Amino acid sequence: MTIHSIRKKCPIIILFNVVCKTLAFCSWYLLFAILPLKLFSDDSLLSVESRIKLILREKSDCVVRVKATKVAIAAGKAKRILKMGSGFFVSKEGHILTTGLLPNADRIWIEHNDTYLLAEALGHDPLCNLSLLKITEPFSSINYVRINDGPSNLEAGSFLVGITFALEFQISPTFGLLQSYESSFGKRLFPTKMIRSSLALGPGEVGAPVFDLNGRFVGITHAALPDLRSSFILPSKACQRIRDDLLLSGKVGYGWFGISTTRKLNDTNSFDVVISGFVKNSPADQSNLKVGDHLVKVGNLAINSNGDLANSSFFAEPDTILEFEVIRKEKKLIIPVRVAGRSFNTQSDSSENFLNSLVSKNNKGNLNSSMKENLQDINSSD
CA angle 377, 254, 198 (to 5 degrees): 40
Domain 255-341: CATH architecture, name and number where available: Roll (2.30)
Residue 354: is its pLDDT beyond 50?
A: no
Interval 70-112: pLDDT, tens: 998 888 888 999 999 999 999 999 999 999 888 889 999 999 9
Which of 120-156 are b and which e, b meaning 16 or more Cβ less than 10 Å from the residue's Cβ?
A: ebebbbbbbbbbbbbbeeeeeebebbebeebeeebee
Burial class (CB within 10 angstroms; exposed 0-12, middle 13-18, buried 19+) of 317? middle
Position 151 scores a pLDDT of: 79
Q: Report residue 262's pLDDT band, with 50, 70 and 90 as the boundaries.
A: very high
Region 327-335 average pLDDT: 94
Q: Report residue 39's pLDDT band, with 50, 70 and 90 as the boundaries.
A: very low
By percentage, how much of the chain surpasses pLDDT 70? 77
Interval 199-214: pLDDT, tens: 989 999 999 999 999 9
Choice between 340 and 227, residue whose per-residue pLDDT is larger: 340
Residue 10: is its pLDDT beyond 90?
A: no
As a whole number, the mean pLDDT across the chain is 82
Burial class (CB within 10 angstroms; exposed 0-12, middle 13-18, buried 19+) of 107? middle
Region 296-303 average pLDDT: 94
Q: Report residue 237's pLDDT band, with 50, 70 and 90 as the boundaries.
A: very high
Burial class (CB within 10 angstroms; exposed 0-12, middle 13-18, buried 19+) of 344? middle
Per-domain boundaries in the chain: 159-242, 255-341
CB 313 within 8 A of CB 231: no
Q: How far apart are CA 124 and CA 116, in angstroms?
A: 22
Measure Cα distances from 68 to 78, 84, 85, 122 in Å: 17, 6, 9, 14
Q: How far apart are CA 133 and CA 65, in angstroms?
A: 12
Query: How many Cβ atoms from other residues are within 10 Å of residue 177's Cβ?
Result: 14
Please indicate whether the domains covering 159-242 and 255-341 agree at the CATH topology level.
Answer: no
* 74-78, 285-289, 299-303: the lowest-pLDDT one: 74-78
CATH code given to domain 159-242: 2.40.10.10
**What's this model's pTM, rounded to 2 decimal places?**
0.77
